[in-house]
Amino acid sequence: EILALANVPTFDPNAFAKAPEEARRNRAIRDLYEPGSVFKIVTFAAALEEGLLRPNEVIECLGGRIVLAGHTIRDHRPFFRLTAREVLEQSSNVGTIQIALRVGAERLAQYIERFGFGRRTGVELPGEARGIVRPMRRWTPVSVGAIAIGQEIGVTALQMAAAMAAIANEGVWVQPHLVRAVRSRDGTVVKRAQPERRRILSPASARALAQMLEGVVERGTGQLAQLSGYSAAGKTGTAQQFDPRTRRYSRTRYVASFAGFAPVADPRVVVLVALDRPRPKYTGGEVAAPVFKRIAEVALHALNVPPDRQEGRPLLAMRTNFASEGTEGEIGLGIAEEGKDEALRFSSLPPAQRDLPGRDLARAVASAGRTKEALPLVRVPDFRGQGIRAVTEQCARIGLRLIVSGSGRAVRQEPAAGTLVVRGTTCRVQFQ
């Protein structure tokens, strides 16, 4: 389900006719680009699914240089022997090509088709492009290696996001869609979306690849995509643009991208960021990964997804770094200091009571035989007059969940400013 789709430059919909064509174009579904290293997820998926690769086996990276049919392909720095996991983390072109040569042209072409490249996704938007996937009979001796690292293929941002979502969905490709349901005036569902779903990878292969992609964010080229409070997995891409004048790949024009999902164990959002010719920095890890971080954190907070990390470490008892400095953080499903007798475990409450406003939740806890003093309490700030970003940051800092309605400046909030509530309480703030 597409929750948000944005293009820059944009336009004023009230003056559509006055906007230049460049601003009106929906780049996410119409513009084609060579995805570069983000596309390596297809190569690795094929190798894992076909039983041709183990995450910890060693791959010879040949000092960062490989020659295919007289064409030299290099890494961004010399690598010699890396595990398959490290090949993906460090985005080694040579290592990926070595893996692709195991897969072979025929199987690689099959997985490109499985992931939906070369045909429209069928999203409910006009003007969607098919992408460019040459038939295998037109591949050259270089093609397997080039396509494996995201060259010689044209994709849309939506196609690439859907491919990453298939890994997050444990191997099930789901057709991107905008409309969840159509309702009549009285609220009756007239039509419910039935997006196409098809399994393209086994759950085991998808999970193995997801763990490898988590390593990209934790230790590899995607470290600037690390989220506050959440695990994340993804892949960077830095693709040279083809220069039609010189008929060579440009050394100054790039598409920088990052595609990823979070949290890793139970993904709720997939985000793809692509930037055309960024300057002065131009790599996906430098310019696209930080944008992923900002978007994913806001989305996860808006969806009330409980954090699963604290200071980059997995949480044992639903700990979160939402708490202010010097304190342990807790949110609605558990308490930080595991093993302390006085620590309340919210999982002991009936599910219907876990999202109650602070006072009601305290009563529910007391009625469950616990003491009110065991609860970590925070005071609700006065959000009036502030923008969505400022309110989101305050809620994150003190450990409150946030539900936003409207846009502009905050005009109303519940609970009221100054109310003492349990950390993890949901605040509803209206903006206009």
Active site residues: 37
DSSP characters over 239-276: EEEEETTTTEEEEEEEEEEEEEEESSSS--EEEEEEEE
**Element spanning 109, H or E:** helix 105-114
Q: CA 289 to CA 312: how far, in whole Å? A: 16
Q: CA 174 to CA 140: how far, in whole Å? A: 32
Q: What is the β-pairing status of strands 401-406 and 426-431?
A: parallel
Indicate the Cα dihedral angle 312, 317, 323, 328, nearest 10°. -100
Kindly report each contact of residues 392-397 with a partner whose C-beta sits within 8 Å and lies 24 or more positions away, as own/partner.
392/298, 392/301, 392/302, 395/301, 395/322, 395/427, 396/228, 396/229, 396/297, 396/301, 396/322, 397/322, 397/324
DSSP characters over 307-350: P-EETTEE-SSS--TTSPTTS---BTTB-SSTT-TT---GGGS-
- In the beta sheet, which residues pair with residue 273? 258
Name which of 18, 37, 23, 7 is nearest 260 in CA terms: 37
Classified as helix, coil or strand, 68 is strand
Name the token pair of 376: 């970590």
Tokens 């992931």, residue located: 115
Q: Left if phi > 0, otherwise alpha if psi is -120 to 50, otherwise beta: which for 247?
A: left
**Beta carbons of 237 and 286 less than 8 angstroms apart:** no
Q: Left if phi > 0, otherwise alpha if psi is -120 to 50, otherwise beta: which for 259?
A: beta
Classified as helix, coil or strand, 60 is strand
